[in-house]
Chain A
Amino acid sequence: MFLNSWSLGLTISALAVLILGGVAGRTALRVLRHWDPASDSNRQIRLEGETWLAATLVEYVLGFQIATLILFVLAADQFCRVIVGAMCATGALLANGYGMPALAVKVVGVFLYGFWIVLHRLDITSESYPLVRAKYIYLLGLLPLLLLDATLQTLYIAGLKPDIITSCCGVVFAAAGEQTGNLLANLDHATLLTLFYATAGLLAGAALLLRRRRPAPLVIAAALGWLWFFVLALVTVTVVFSSYIYAMPYHRCPFCILKPEYHYIGLAIYTALIVAAFAGITAALVHPLGRRDDLAEAVQRYQERAARLSLIFLLLFIALASYHWLVYIFLGGEQ
Chain B
Amino acid sequence: MTIFSTGLEKQLNILDYALASFWRRKLKNLSVMIVFGAVIFLLASFQMVTRSLTETAADVLAAAPDITVQRLSAGRQESLPLAYRDRLAAIFGIRKVVPRIWGYLFDEGKGANYTIMGLDVAAMPGGEKLPQSLAAGRFPEPDETGGCVVGRSIVRIQGLESRRHFSLFRPDLSLKPFRVTGTFGAESAILTDDLIVTTLPEAADLFAIPAGLVTDLCVYVVNPREIDTIAKKIAARLPDSRVLTRSQILKTYQVVFGWRSGFASICLLTGLLAFIILAWDKASGLSPEERREIGILKVLGWETADILTIRFWEGCLIAALSYVLGVTAAYIHVVHFNAALFRPVMLGWSVLDPTFRLVPVLEAADLLLIFCLTVLPYLAATVVPAWRCAIVPADSAIRGG
Partners in one complex: yes
Known: A20-B380, A122-B3, A301-B3. Is A5-B262 also a contact (CB below 8 A)? Answer: yes
Known: A2-B262, A52-B304. Is A23-B384 also a contact (CB below 8 A)? Answer: yes
In the complex, whether B308 has a CB less than 8 A from a CB of chain A is yes
In the complex, whether A264 has a CB less than 8 A from a CB of chain B is yes
**Do the beta carbons of A305 and B376 come within 8 Å of each other?**
no
| Distance, CA A7 to CA B1, complexed state (A) | 45
Point out the residue from A20, A68, A70, A305 that lies within 8 Å of B383, measured CB to CB.
A20
In the complex, whether B320 has a CB less than 8 A from a CB of chain A is no
Question: Chain A contacts of B262 at CB under 8 A?
Answer: 2-5, 7-8
| Distance, CA A54 to CA B113, complexed state (A) | 61
Known: A3-B259, A8-B266, A125-B1. Is A74-B368 also a contact (CB below 8 A)? Answer: yes
In the complex, whether B135 has a CB less than 8 A from a CB of chain A is no
In the complex, whether B390 has a CB less than 8 A from a CB of chain A is yes
Known: A8-B265, A9-B369, A70-B368. Is A60-B379 also a contact (CB below 8 A)? Answer: yes
**Do the beta carbons of B380 and A53 come within 8 Å of each other?**
no
**Do the beta carbons of B364 and A13 come within 8 Å of each other?**
no
In the complex, whether A156 has a CB less than 8 A from a CB of chain B is no
Give the Cβ gap from B313 to chain A, nearest Cβ, in Å.
13
Known: A16-B376, A56-B308. Is A121-B3 also a contact (CB below 8 A)? Answer: yes
Among A2, A9, A13, A19, the one with the most B-chain Cβ atoms within 10 Å of its Cβ is: A9
Within 8 A of A (CB), among B246-268: 247-248, 250-251, 254-255, 258-259, 261-263, 265-266
**Do the beta carbons of A81 and B251 come within 8 Å of each other?**
yes
**Do the beta carbons of B251 and A84 come within 8 Å of each other?**
yes
Known: A9-B373, A12-B372, A49-B391. Is A305-B3 also a contact (CB below 8 A)? Answer: yes
In the complex, whether B377 has a CB less than 8 A from a CB of chain A is yes
Point out the residue from A3, A5, A125 that lies within 8 Å of B47, measured CB to CB.
A5
In the complex, whether A6 has a CB less than 8 A from a CB of chain B is yes
Give the Cβ gap from A13 to chain B, nearest Cβ, in Å.
5
Question: Chain B contacts of A196 at CB under 8 A?
Answer: none
Question: Chain B contacts of A23 at CB under 8 A?
Answer: 384
Point out the residue from A52, A60, A68, A260 that lies within 8 Å of B391, measured CB to CB.
A52
In the complex, whether B83 has a CB less than 8 A from a CB of chain A is no
| Distance, CA A70 to CA B379, complexed state (A) | 18
Within 8 A of B (CB), among A65-102: 67-68, 70-71, 74-75, 77-78, 81-84
**Do the beta carbons of B368 and A67 come within 8 Å of each other?**
yes
**Do the beta carbons of B390 and A52 come within 8 Å of each other?**
yes
Point out the residue from B261, B372, B384 that lies within 8 Å of A53, measured CB to CB.
B384
In the complex, whether B162 has a CB less than 8 A from a CB of chain A is no
Q: SS class of chain B's interface: helix, strand, loop or mixed?
A: helix
In the complex, whether A162 has a CB less than 8 A from a CB of chain B is yes
**Do the beta carbons of A82 and B255 come within 8 Å of each other?**
yes
| Distance, CA A212 to CA B317, complexed state (A) | 41
In the complex, whether A57 has a CB less than 8 A from a CB of chain B is yes
- The interface on chain A, measured as residues whose beta carbon lies within 8 A of the other chain's beta carbons, has a size of 47
| Distance, CA A12 to CA B262, complexed state (A) | 13
In the complex, whether B387 has a CB less than 8 A from a CB of chain A is yes
In the complex, whether A302 has a CB less than 8 A from a CB of chain B is yes
Known: A9-B369, A9-B372, A9-B373. Is A60-B380 also a contact (CB below 8 A)? Answer: yes
Known: A68-B372, A125-B3. Is A60-B265 also a contact (CB below 8 A)? Answer: no
In the complex, whether A35 has a CB less than 8 A from a CB of chain B is no
| Distance, CA A78 to CA B47, complexed state (A) | 12
**Do the beta carbons of B3 and A53 come within 8 Å of each other?**
no
Give the Cβ gap from B265 to chain A, nearest Cβ, in Å.
5
| Distance, CA A64 to CA B308, complexed state (A) | 18
| Distance, CA A302 to CA B47, complexed state (A) | 43
**Do the beta carbons of B365 and A78 come within 8 Å of each other?**
yes
Closest to A57 in B: B383
Within 8 A of A (CB), among B304-326: 304-305, 308, 312
Size band of the interface chain B makes with A: 35 or more
| Distance, CA A74 to CA B266, complexed state (A) | 20
Chain B 218-249 interface mask (CB, 8 Å, partner A; 1/0): 00000000000000000000000000000110
Give the Cβ gap from B57 to chain A, nearest Cβ, in Å.
11
In the complex, whether B329 has a CB less than 8 A from a CB of chain A is no
Closest to A19 in B: B380
In the complex, whether A298 has a CB less than 8 A from a CB of chain B is yes
| Distance, CA A302 to CA B263, complexed state (A) | 49
Question: Chain A contacts of B390 at CB under 8 A?
Answer: 52
**Do the beta carbons of A60 and B383 come within 8 Å of each other?**
yes
Point out the residue from A4, A19, A78 that lies within 8 Å of B259, measured CB to CB.
A4
Question: Chain B contacts of A20 at CB under 8 A?
Answer: 380, 383
| Distance, CA A227 to CA B247, complexed state (A) | 41
Known: A64-B376, A82-B251, A305-B4. Is A6-B369 also a contact (CB below 8 A)? Answer: yes
Question: Chain B contacts of A259 at CB under 8 A?
Answer: 365
**Do the beta carbons of A301 and B383 come within 8 Å of each other?**
no
**Do the beta carbons of B376 and A12 come within 8 Å of each other?**
yes
Among A12, A57, A74, the one with the most B-chain Cβ atoms within 10 Å of its Cβ is: A12
| Distance, CA A158 to CA B118, complexed state (A) | 42
In the complex, whether B174 has a CB less than 8 A from a CB of chain A is no
**Do the beta carbons of B259 and A67 come within 8 Å of each other?**
no
Question: Chain A contacts of B380 at CB under 8 A?
Answer: 16, 19-20, 60, 64
In the complex, whether B371 has a CB less than 8 A from a CB of chain A is yes
| Distance, CA A70 to CA B363, complexed state (A) | 14
Using A77-B365, A260-B363 as known contacts, list a sample of 6 further A-B pairs with CB atoms less than 8 Å apart, ordered by residue number in A. Answer: A3-B262, A5-B46, A49-B387, A67-B368, A74-B365, A81-B254
- Give the top 10 A-B pairs by smallest Cβ distance, nearest first: A3-B262, A49-B391, A16-B380, A4-B262, A74-B365, A9-B372, A53-B387, A4-B258, A302-B3, A82-B254
Can you list 25 A-B contacts with CB-CB less than 8 angstroms, sorted by A residue number? A3-B258, A3-B259, A3-B266, A4-B261, A4-B262, A5-B50, A8-B262, A9-B369, A9-B373, A20-B383, A49-B391, A52-B308, A60-B380, A64-B380, A71-B368, A81-B251, A81-B254, A121-B3, A121-B4, A162-B255, A260-B363, A260-B365, A298-B3, A302-B3, A305-B3
Q: Which residues of B contact A (CB under 8 A)?
A: 1-4, 43, 46-47, 50, 54, 247-248, 250-251, 254-255, 258-259, 261-263, 265-266, 269, 304-305, 308, 312, 363-365, 368-369, 371-373, 376-377, 379-380, 383-384, 386-387, 390-391, 393
